[in-house]
Amino acid sequence: MASLGDSDLEEQHDELLVLSSIYDDDDIFIAGEDNNGGQFNCKLQIPQPFFLQLNGQAQLKGVKNVQDDEGHTLFPVKHLPPIVLNFQYPPNYPSCLAPQFTLSCKWLSVHQLSKLCHKLDEIWEENKGGVVVFLWTQFLSEETLDILSIDSPLNLPTTNRKENRVASSARTKDCKTADRNKDDANAIMEIKKHVDPRAIQDIASPTLLLATLENYNQQEQERVFNSAIFTCKVCFAEKHGLLCICFHGCDHVYCQECMKEYFKVQIMEGNVKCLNCPEQECDSQALPSQVQELVGQELFAKYDRLLLQSSLDGMADIVYCPRSHCQCAVMIEKESNMAVCPACAFAFCTFCKLVYHGVSPCSIRRAELMELREEYENGDDEKRQFLEKRYGRRAIKQSLEESYSEQWLEDNSQACPNCGTHIQKIDGCNKMTCTKCRAYFCWICKSMLSRTNPYIHFNVPDSPCFNLLFQGMGEFVGDQDDEDGWQPRWWFV
């Protein structure tokens, strides 16, 4: 006949076997036979969407936060660190005594954990003489949110050093640590009434709580994603999440092989800002870490360089050194048109990109005349004042007149192919004579003509201007005033 102690040991052993068969290795850890206990990690299934209320604390970098109607910062999470139940069997469990245990958590306060400890004690009292660890794990997994009235948004527990010291003293039942301050001693006596010594808030400092929760949430999401199976929307193959990537912001999933080729093509063509989600009308972009993981170090270096250059191009206070061998990015000084390249020490004007000329107006290049004219004529008063300050009012006036002249010459004349002098055709045939260098050229095709026989250009069948000597002239009309009859007259169109 088995003794009472042997019966207790058998029930303990059976309970540990049941826990090991029900829960995964990540949820339950069974200690060795000598310790005769274990650890249960209770991962709560929080409803979605679920937010943490930061109450004006600093936002987490790289995390998309939202604001509620009262201006509080809300941080979305899908997973929270588990409630950890550490238990150890006494020799006469379950016949006489309950398991010894502690409850610890990073985001629950000691008061909330104390309430859970009291509930575990009640479960033991209701089932005294029977195994209760499985009942405890069920309670923690299924009823914690309701018992503690946890809902979204969740206000994180706020503690300071004094409260942590007081709670620690209450757990150790050591009032001597508070003798330095009578207020601490009184606080310990008050907290002892509400804080269970088995309740432990497992966080080194309240300032680390937000970062800890964010890191756990990210790691848990990656674990869940890697173990799931997805259908790639490009090749339609089913693959584990470990072989897929998920675009942040839209949660669209594609296999790594398809995205690897897609990223390579875009980077080789210089479209570093086009690494978007392939889903139609979706503008979520791949993270640099995702790109680096797929394309390799060499191609990622090109992507990183082009992305940096593209970002700098979009910054209003960044210009590039105008020296062709340098092209270093230079920060523009406020209220100044001078910039000094940090690489080659070249001081230049940020407007005209020429060597710095102090308070003197910028020189206007011929290629900029039409652009300057459009900016000045179509700009508002503020824009015109800026241009007059940059170039000078007289220079602006002269430039406008020159641009009008350039436009008239372009519309009404042609440049001599020999000396470049602008020639205007008033009348006559298409054999032109330059008034400056006396060269012959064709008005139609601008080619040089022979000095001895310029008209052969219009008489040779192989010529592009064959029979076009009088092209563009009006019809032949007559005037009977002459004795010889018809008097020739040409009308030019």
Catalytic residue numbers read 429
Q: Could you tell me what percentage of the chain is helix, strand and coil, using 3-state DSSP and rounding each to the nearest 5?
A: 40, 15, 45
| Distance in angstroms (rounded) separating the CA atoms of residues 165 and 168 | 5
The two structure tokens encoding residue 15: 């309970």
Q: Which DSSP string corresponds to 42-64? A: E-----SSEEEE-TTPPPPTT--
Q: How wide is the angle at C-alpha 382 spanned by C-alphas 381 and 388, nearest 5°?
A: 85
Type of residue at 450: S
Across 145-166, b (16+ Cβ under 10 Å) vs e yields eeebebeebbebbebeeebbbb
| Distance in angstroms (rounded) separating the CA atoms of residues 22 and 133 | 13
Sort 432 into a burial class: Cβ within 10 Å, 0-12 / 13-18 / 19+.
buried
Cβ atoms within 10 Å of 393's Cβ, excluding its own: 13
Type of residue at 297: Q
Residues 267/270/274/277 CA torsion (nearest 10 deg): -10
Question: What are the φ/ψ torsions at residue 69 (nearest 5 degrees)?
Answer: -65, -25
> What's 482's DSSP letter?
B
| Distance in angstroms (rounded) separating the CA atoms of residues 266 and 386 | 40
E strand or H helix that includes residue 305: helix 297-313
Beta-bridged to residue 29, according to DSSP, are 39
For residues 129 and 46, is the Cβ–Cβ distance under 8 A? no
Question: What are the φ/ψ torsions at residue 188 (nearest 5 degrees)?
Answer: -65, -45
The separation between CA 85 and the C-alpha centre of its own chain, rounded to angstroms, equals 40
How many angstroms separate the first and last alpha carbons of the chain?
130
For residues 233 and 279, is the Cβ–Cβ distance under 8 A? yes
The two structure tokens encoding residue 311: 């970002």
Contacts of 207 (CB under 8 A, 6+ apart): none
